[in-house]
Amino acid sequence: MTLLKLENIGKRYGDVQALDGVSLSVEPASRTAVVGPSGSGKSTLLRIVAGFEFPDTGRVLFDGRLLADGPAGIPAHKRGIGIVFQDGALFPHLSVADNIAFGFERGAADRARRIADLLDMVELEAAMATRRPHQLSGGQQQRVALARALGRKPRLMLLDEPFSALDTGLRETMRKAVARVLENAGITAILVTHDQTEALSFADQVAVLRGGRLIQAGAPQTLYRQPRDRETALFLGDAVLLPAVAESGFADCALGRVPVDGDHAGKVEIMLRPEQIHIAAGNAPPREGMRVVDVQFGGAVATVAVRLPDASLPPILIRTSGFGLPAPGDTVRLTVAGEAHVFSPVNSLS
């Protein structure tokens, strides 16, 4: 069963095609992350789902109900969809309790109980109900904004880069907390973010937009390990891209013979994630080995740059443990864990 369905959504602003034929389905009680570079159309897509914008073409259906059919549709306040913005958008002159209750129906008899329940749901102490937004940390403000949105009892929650103003450690904590709250409440969520790691760790489904088009949508592991093209591969994380010749489930490349996904033959381009490449124990003879050109220690994880025997290829980056690191100038052997991903056959490789 599909809760939200976008069908061939198109939106233009003057000469700019913000969205071009985007179709996407979102399942109930799932979390979808929409990612893409600046100007890819992700915020426009979220605004169309919310009802702040209407598409030029295409339809938006929510639980079988038609919310938009081209430029005609139901306004935002009648859709029953919650939204949390990047800055929380709290009312500075209202207390936390009054901010949370802002979306309640007028004269709700159980107002105090619902506020207490929502504070508990987003893991805030009841004593914070009387505070004003300026007396809260950034993470606490976002929790209040989430509680306010949850107070409307939405079946769908839209999250517009809600963690981007937080520092790194707090972002991770908030991301986990919000995911937990939404899962416990059985609420479907769509997160718009420019942070690829955030998208991959938060969502059940990741949708990649580029130039207003939906490039690929699927499970996070699928997109990370089997991206549709090299641009998507590089957008979702560091990648080692190598020319190769594929045959019978293997590819011959600068790293030697490696297993590949699928049945391919001929000249191809393969992709490995840096963490798939391991430095074998012990130095290798210079003729057989690959030379370390740089080592960047980063604590638990270090990055090692290794020059391949084929001097026409750039050094590859390997992520490895910070213990037992080789030194620049060492020759090493490399092994590959798992399969390399094969892009479509190429006409020429440089």
pLDDT per residue as tens digits for the range 54-95: 999 999 999 999 999 999 999 998 998 988 887 767 889 999
Tokens of 270: 């393969």
Whether 347 is covered by a domain: the verdict is: no
Residue where a domain terminates, one of 195, 230, 265: 230
pLDDT for the residue 282: 60
Q: How confident is the model at residue 241 (pLDDT cuts 50, 70, 90)?
A: very high
Question: Of 208, 230, 252, at which residue does a domain stop?
Answer: 230
Structurally, how many domains does the chain consist of? 2
Q: Say whether pLDDT at 269 is over 50.
A: yes
Mean pLDDT of the chain: 89
Contact (Cβ atoms closer than 8 angstroms) between residue 240 and residue 272: yes
Q: Which long-range contacts (CB under 8 A, 24 or more apart) does 226-233 make?
A: 226/261, 226/341, 227/271, 227/341, 229/343, 230/269, 230/271, 230/343, 232/208, 233/271, 233/341
Average the pLDDT over 188-200 and give the result.
Answer: 92
Higher pLDDT among residues 204 and 123, named by residue: 204
- What is the percentage of the chain residues whose pLDDT exceeds 70? 95
Domain co-membership, 158 together with 48: yes
Residue 104 confidence class, pLDDT cut points 50, 70, 90: confident
Residue finishing a domain among 172, 196, 230 = 230
- Verify that 206 and 270 share a domain, yes or no: no
Whole-structure pTM value: 0.86
> How far apart are alpha carbons 50 and 78 in whole angstroms?
10
CA distance 196 to 237: 7
Task: Output the CA–CA distances (angstroms, integers) from residue 99 to 83, 119, 125, 133, in the order listed.
Answer: 14, 11, 15, 9
Q: Indicate whether 33 and 143 sit together in one domain.
A: yes
Give the range of the structural domain holding residue 282, as residue numbers without chain letter: 238-342
More confident residue, 30 or 107: 30
Residue 348 clears pLDDT 50, i.e. is over it:
no
d(CA 34, CA 7): 16
Express as a percent the part of the chain with pLDDT over 90.
Answer: 57
Between CA 218 and CA 342 the distance in angstroms is: 18
What are the pLDDT digits (tens) for 270-324?
A: 999 999 999 876 665 554 568 999 999 989 899 999 999 888 889 999 999 889 8
143 domain residue, yes or no: yes
Residue type, 290: M
- Structural domain includes residue 348: no
> Do 35 and 89 touch, CB atoms closer than 8 A?
no
285 assigned to some structural domain? yes
Pairing verdict, β 256-259 and 16-26: unpaired
pLDDT in tens, 156-177: 999 988 877 777 777 788 888 8
Q: Inform me whether the pLDDT recorded for 123 exceeds 90.
A: no
Cβ atoms of 39 and 17 closer than 8 Å:
no
Q: What is the pLDDT of residue 349?
A: 41
Instruction: Tell whether 206 is covered by a domain.
Output: yes
Q: What is the 3-state secondary structure (H, E, C) of 164-196?
A: CCCCHHHHHHHHHHHHHHHHHHCCEEEEECCCH
pLDDT tens per residue across span 129-159 = 999 999 988 888 888 888 888 888 889 999 9
